[in-house]
């Protein structure tokens, strides 16, 4: 029941009915990561999506000298690891809890079972995740255009 209550608070699940949330909760794990705990290492299989319910996760990549550089931060209300999960790729960064972090976790195994048991609900979940990815891509595109305009002095007339 705790997982259902946590899912209700997660923005990605706002368009799901109570019945759908209860069903999805059956496929989710819940874990608390203490500050400093690694959720995944760069190069780990992308076999989980982390729905950050509370807390903050830093994403790190090594610089040319091997020193960790924070390249992004995922806050509460953010799914994490979805690109590796759906592309069947390895994680391209290391995820570390920047403070105590509570996460609902969907494993590949859980997602495969959901697809078998309720394909409609699996598609609905996939569509909501795709919406989040599209929003992130739009935001990154805007930042890229803004940076390009800044570097090159804006559009030429």
Asked whether residue 83 is domain-assigned, the answer is: yes
**Which pLDDT does position 61 carry in this prediction?**
95
**Which pLDDT does position 4 carry in this prediction?**
84
Which of helix, strand or coil describes residue 28?
strand
Asked whether residue 77 is domain-assigned, the answer is: yes
Section 22-29 average pLDDT? 94
Cα–Cα nearest to 103, from 46, 54, 37, 36 = 54
Could you tell me how far CA 1 lies from the centroid of its own chain?
A: 22
Asked whether residue 132 is domain-assigned, the answer is: yes
Tokens (6 digits) for 157: 């007339």
Asked whether residue 157 is domain-assigned, the answer is: no
Listed in sequence order, the residues at least 6 apart from 58 whose beta carbon sits closer than 8 Å to its beta carbon are: 70, 72, 73, 95, 96, 98
Q: Is the pLDDT of residue 118 over 70?
A: yes
CATH number of the domain where residue 119 is located: 2.60.120.10
- Find the largest Cα–Cα distance for the chain: 60
Distance CA 90, CA 69 (A): 19
Section 134-143 average pLDDT? 81
Distance CA 152, CA 27 (A): 49
Residue range(s) defining the domain that contains residue 53: 1-152
For the chain, what is the domain count?
A: 1
Distance CA 93, CA 131 (A): 22
Confidence of residue 139 (pLDDT cuts 50, 70, 90): confident
Q: Is the pLDDT of residue 130 over 70?
A: yes
Check: CB of residue 81 under 8 Å from CB of residue 129: no
Asked whether residue 91 is domain-assigned, the answer is: yes
């Amino acid at each position: 029941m705790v997982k259902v209550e946590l899912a209700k608070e997660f923005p990605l699940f706002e368009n799901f009915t109570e019945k759908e949330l209860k069903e999805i909760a059956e496929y989710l794990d819940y874990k608390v990561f203490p500050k400093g705990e690694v959720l995944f290492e760069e190069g780990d299989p992308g076999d989980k999506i982390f729905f950050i319910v509370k807390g903050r996760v830093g994403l790190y990549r090594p610089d040319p000298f091997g020193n960790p550089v924070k390249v992004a931060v995922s806050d509460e209300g953010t799914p994490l690891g979805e690109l590796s999960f759906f592309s069947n790729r390895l994680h391209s960064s290391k995820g570390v809890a920047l403070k105590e972090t509570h996460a609902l976790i969907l494993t590949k195994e859980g997602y495969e079972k959901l697809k078998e048991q309720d394909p409609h609900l699996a598609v609905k979940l996939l569509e909501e995740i795709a919406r989040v990815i599209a929003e992130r891509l739009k935001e990154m595109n805007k930042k890229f255009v803004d940076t390009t305009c800044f570097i090159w002095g804006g559009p030429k007339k």
